[in-house]
Structure 1
Amino acid sequence: MSQSSLKPEELTVPVPGGDLAVLRWPADRPEAPTVVAVHGITANGLAWYEVARRLAGRVTLLAPDLRGRSASRSVAGPYGLTRHADDVAALIAALGLGPTAVVGHSMGAWVTALTAVRHPELVRRVLLVDGGVSFPLPEGVREEDALAAVLGPALARLSMTFSDRDAYREFWRRHPAFGDDWSEGIDAYTQRDLVGTEPELRSSCVLEAVQTDGAQVLLDEEAMGAVHRLPCPAELLWAERGLLDEPQGLYDQQRIGLSGLDRQRVPASPVPDSNHYSILWGEAGADRIVRSLLADAPVAG
């Protein structure tokens, strides 16, 4: 893929409540397969920049901005994971893609699983990246406390304003999960999130969307059960470290066991030396995702 082709095309797809913005990195060959990539709770379609770069035109990659985020922030509610899943299905149907592969990161993994369950005729296989699998809350942990732990950092950022684009850039460069992985792609991804005018720039994410979606990740039974009812081949890749690069990530072998995941139907593999973000941006994570997307069948862990 040439340097010029790293900048994706932009298109829109009509969905209830407005037009969903979609980024498209085209394949080099018309017969190449298509993959739809679904981002996390406060992210946007450019989260998949590094994966697109490493795919190098071997597939067409489509990455929507989910409703309530970035260029889709004006798409009206209601929000929620099933609404996002139906939006992904609308994208696949509107572009006439037929059964296609769908990959989702973080919250996008739950959306991906729901898309396959609700629209099995449109999804050929799924790849879940550090998300999509729920497990019981530890004994003594209240639901509201778990929600605060998950949403707290994101909600804090949504309430902030930034004097200029450099200030937002520096905010993200200090994030412990990015470390040495800062790149042109990460910069473009974080800058895509900004709306407003200086000196009061802010995140594009709609607060109601983030609150609704975050609660459903932890508490919605349909979303929690989707991974156990997948009608197609699937794979889970999980990061060894967490959202702030802490040693404990969202998953480990014990937590996956507690989830009741059928490892024969959904092989699950750790990605060494990765955290919740670098699994998309770092060399080890992005290469592992690309290998899975290019494979004819999921790779067992």
Structure 2
Amino acid sequence: MDSVQISTPDGPLHALRSGDGGGPVVLAAHGITASAMSFAAVARALPAGWTLLALDLRGRGRSNGLPGPYGMDRHADDLARAARQVGRPVVLAGQSMGAYAALRAAAREPGLYTRLVLIDGGLPLPVPAGADPDAVLEATLGPAITRLRMTFPTEDAYVDVFRHHPALAADWSDDLDAYARYDATGEPGEIRSRVAPDAVAADGRDLIVGAATSGDDLRGLRLPADLLYAPRGMFGQEPGMLPQPLVEHWTAQTALRAELVPDCNHYTILTDPAAAAAIVRVLTS
């Protein structure tokens, strides 16, 4: 995949591109602690003539130097800039947090996109009434933010964190190895993630306090939209991030079409070859 720069008022936003951009284009947004490398298997599964343009969202990957504020509105703006740089309507896809950013982008400027594909994300997650957003953030993303502040003696030691993750260990692959190494930065003895902890905290809080806004986005969609979701969650456990009752609630209220992708979890829905093929089938339909 080739490096591409997307112009923003704050400086270039980095992206990875497969294909020459001459045919149909998929514009993709990754998860809250991830990077453009999440989509390597999807890019490889696309038919000849298709291009995938996967962003490093600001605060992540090679876009980690771009400043805040963060949040779904800001990421939606960046997605719109990338679509305009392509110069014609694109298929818009997002996984996990990227699904919420893609949903916001599609709701705000539907003319930039031909269809929307949400991958294990995009549905408002129930937040208990009266819950403290910061307490919810600590309970859900606190461990991830702690990891982002850690340093490791070598790149291999950093990769081992991913290699032994309960959702990844049984499905470890060259793609996952490349993904982890892409995320590593720093000198020996001080290897760390490229992801900015403040970006994760800000985006996580925005998802919590803005859950109702995501519901409004879903109900107001004016372009074809699909949801692909995993049966297992962030630690490889059942149920997944989007339990069946939640999926049914939103497909009953909207025109969203939903499909369960078998035998995968919140991460391997992108990296497993069979799951990636299922995603590509919907992206190109």
The question of a shared fold, defined as TM-score above 0.5 by the shorter chain, is answered with yes
Q: Does 1:35 align with 2:26?
A: yes
CA distance in 2, matches of 1:254, 1:223: 17
Q: Does 1:242 align with 2:226?
A: no
Q: Paired residue for 1:64?
A: 55
Q: Does 1:269 align with 2:268?
A: no
Report deviation, 1:74.
Answer: 0.9
CA distance in 2, matches of 1:54, 1:171: 27
The equivalences for 1:52-91 within 5 A come to 52-91=43-82
Q: Percent identity?
A: 40
TM-score for the superposition, normalised by structure 2:
0.94
CA distance in 1, matches of 2:237, 2:139: 14
Q: Paired residue for 1:133?
A: 123
Q: Does 1:219 align with 2:212?
A: no
Q: Paired residue for 2:16?
A: 23
CA distance in 2, matches of 1:282, 1:87: 28
Report deviation, 1:166.
Answer: 0.6
Residues 193-222 of structure 1 show CA distances to partners (whole Å, capped at 9, x for unaligned) of: 112111101111112211111111222143
Count of residues paired in the alignment: 284
Residue of structure 1 aligned with 2:170, choices 180, 201, 204 = 180
**AA matched with 2:59:** G
CA distance in 2, matches of 1:225, 1:179: 37
Contact 1:274-1:284 within 8 A present in 2 as well: no
**AA matched with 1:25:** S
Residue of structure 2 aligned with 1:12, choices 2, 5, 12 = 5
CA distance in 2, matches of 1:186, 1:261: 32
**AA matched with 2:101:** V
CA distance in 1, matches of 2:149, 2:177: 21
Contact 2:219-2:253 within 8 A present in 1 as well: no
Change (3 A) 1:256 1:142: farther
Report deviation, 1:272.
Answer: 1.3
CA distance in 2, matches of 1:123, 1:11: 20
Report deviation, 1:144.
Answer: 3.6
CA distance in 1, matches of 2:114, 2:180: 31
Contact 1:228-1:261 within 8 A present in 2 as well: no
Report deviation, 1:40.
Answer: 0.5
Change (3 A) 1:141 1:133: same
**AA matched with 1:35:** V
Contact 2:219-2:254 within 8 A present in 1 as well: no
Change (3 A) 1:75 1:189: same
The equivalences for 1:153-232 within 5 A come to 153-220=143-210, 221-232=212-223
